Amino acid sequence: QVQLVESGGGSVQVGDSLRLSCSVSGLTFSRNAMAWFRRTPGKDRAFVAIIGWDDPSTFYAASVQGRFTISRDNAENTVYLQMNSLKPEDTAVYYCAAGPIATLRSSDYAYWGQGTQVTVST
């Protein structure tokens, strides 16, 4: 059974930092790209960041470039999202996703976590 579990969300002030974690089981973690998406109620999931499996290449949405950092620990089957200088527009439910190919489209991912809430207040 494939399982992805996010953690680390919370309620913070503008400019604060959070580190999200996603623990993965049931698949070959080292051979899957890992991505983070986020969603506000009533809206589609939006791409945030991705890290490849063949090499440690990363790519970010323009809205988080320079503030967020994605990383992975293959030995621990965990992917992280370090979020700095948080803004109110970062408020969303954050999801991790796994797939064998690197893609920015949420519909291409078969495996998803249940999400963790991040709230940024002015």
Structure confidence by residue, pLDDT tens digits, 3-16? 999 999 999 999 99
Q: What mean pLDDT do residues 45-66 have?
A: 92
Q: What pLDDT does 31 receive?
A: 85
Residue 116, both tokens: 């963790």
Of the pLDDT bands very low, low, confident and very high (cuts 50, 70, 90), residue 50 is: very high
Query: In angstroms, rounded to a whole number, what is the distance separating the alpha carbons of residues 82 and 75?
Result: 19
Mean pLDDT of the chain: 94
Q: Give residue 20's identity as a one-letter amino acid code.
A: L
Query: In angstroms, rounded to a whole number, what is the distance separating the alpha carbons of residues 108 and 103?
Result: 7
